[in-house]
């Protein structure tokens, strides 16, 4: 891989990723509207796609307000963390055989580490806001992240056992004989649920639960700082979808009539649609229900899944 190609990949991934995250605002509103028998934004541009531009411009022109009671340095720092950590996670994801930023031999661990870093933005943002609702949201975010991070890591270990590698490219290549969705169906569901909780999307949007906590940890944020949280959330959706595709649905693998990167994008968008459908149809669980569900059901289940996978691997 030449240096020129490498820079092209980095630039391309950044460009596509940021535009995808912005475009998801439009996609989500249109899909939610479709599932609620409405139209959604359909005025600006073809199918209302320019609503993204209008939203971004609006965010730029809003007053960039730092509350006088806030911890100013941390307040400014927090929104950058979420975007940075999600963007860093994307460096290890193989989009196609030649399209990946870093061929890391512990890519999966790097992903887990970076996605846990995202919680710092919630906790720091909520703490620096010096607002009780923001702090409550931050506390919820932290405890949700701790409980769901545990079995998120455990659920992907089944994939690691089967493929014998932490390298995401090798994991994809190991799926040439068959996608891991079949042997790892339990692991897939656990990873998906943990991923939803990780991105704090509905129905697990407990840290921002707008009907309980105003807007949770980002109550005090406005302008582009709020926009960073917003973009970070949408990039998180893309990240979890891309990870699900990489780990369980064969990544770029697919019939040869389409190029590998197209297969990857198609599969990723199928999961993004699933995320939006979840938002359209699920009620938010109570906070203690969420914890109970995580520790009493999913955590033992992921351990059992790991045990059985390892036993089968040993016997073969």
Partner 1 sequence: MFSLLRSMWLVFLHMFHKRETYQYPEEKAPLPARWRGRIALTRDPDGGERCVGCYLCAAACPVDCISLQATEDEHGRRYPEFFRINFSRCIFCGFCEEACPTYAIQLLPDFEMAEYNRQNLVYEKENLLINSQGKYPGYNYYKVAGMAIGGKDKGEAEREEPPVDIKSLLP
Residues 21-80 that bind partner 1 (CB under 8 A): 34-39
Q: Is 211 in the site for partner 1 (CB under 8 A)?
A: no
Nearer to partner 1, 171 or 298 (CB): 298
Tokens linked to 69: 């009671």
The burial of 103, by beta-carbon neighbours within 10 Å (0-12 exposed, 13-18 middle, 19 or more buried), is given as: middle
Beta carbon of residue 274, minimum distance to partner 1 (angstroms, whole number)? 9
Nearer to partner 1, 36 or 177 (CB): 36
Beta carbon of residue 277, minimum distance to partner 1 (angstroms, whole number)? 6
Nearer to partner 1, 37 or 63 (CB): 37
Number of residues binding to partner 1, judged by CB under 8 A: 11
Residues 244-283 that bind partner 1 (CB under 8 A): 277-278, 280-282
Phi, psi angle pair for 155, to nearest 5° = -70, -30
Beta carbon of residue 238, minimum distance to partner 1 (angstroms, whole number)? 21
Nearer to partner 1, 171 or 192 (CB): 192
- How far apart CA 117 and CA 129 sit, in angstroms, is 19
The burial of 18, by beta-carbon neighbours within 10 Å (0-12 exposed, 13-18 middle, 19 or more buried), is given as: middle
Query: Which residues are near partner 1 by CB under 8 A?
Result: 34-39, 277-278, 280-282
């Amino acid at each position: 891989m030449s240096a020129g190609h490498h820079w092209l990949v980095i630039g391309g991934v950044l460009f596509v990723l940021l535009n995808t995250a912005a475009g998801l605002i439009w996609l989500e509103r249109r899909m939610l509207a479709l599932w609620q028998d409405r139209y959604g934004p359909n005025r600006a541009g073809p199918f209302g796609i320019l609503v993204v531009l209008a939203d971004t411009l609006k965010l730029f022109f809003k007053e960039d307000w730092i509350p006088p009671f806030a911890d100013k340095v941390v307040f400014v720092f927090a929104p950058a963390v979420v975007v940075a950590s999600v963007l860093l996670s994307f460096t290890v994801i193989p989009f196609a055989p030649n399209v990946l930023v870093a061929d890391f031999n512990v890519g999966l661990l790097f992903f887990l580490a970076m996605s846990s870093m995202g919680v710092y933005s919630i906790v720091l943002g909520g703490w620096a806001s010096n607002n009780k609702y923001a702090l409550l949201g931050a506390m919820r975010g932290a405890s949700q992240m701790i409980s769901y991070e545990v079995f998120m890591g455990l659920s992907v270990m089944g994939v690691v056992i089967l493929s014998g590698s932490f390298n995401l490219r090798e994991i994809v290549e190991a799926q040439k004989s068959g996608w891991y969705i079949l042997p790892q169906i339990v692991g897939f569901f656990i990873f998906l649920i943990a991923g939803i909780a990780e991105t704090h999307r509905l129905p697990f949007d407990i840290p921002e639960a707008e009907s309980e906590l105003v807007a949770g940890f980002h109550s005090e944020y406005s302008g582009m700082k709020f926009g960073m949280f917003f973009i970070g959330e949408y990039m998180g959706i893309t990240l979890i979808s891309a990870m699900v595709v990489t780990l369980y649905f064969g990544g770029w693998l697919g019939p040869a009539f389409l190029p590998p990167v197209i297969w990857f994008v198609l599969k990723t968008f199928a999961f993004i649609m699933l995320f939006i459908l979840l938002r359209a149809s699920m009620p938010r669980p109570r906070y203690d229900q969420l914890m109970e569900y995580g520790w009493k059901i999913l955590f033992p289940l992921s351990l059992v899944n790991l045990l059985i996978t390892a036993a089968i691997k040993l016997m073969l």
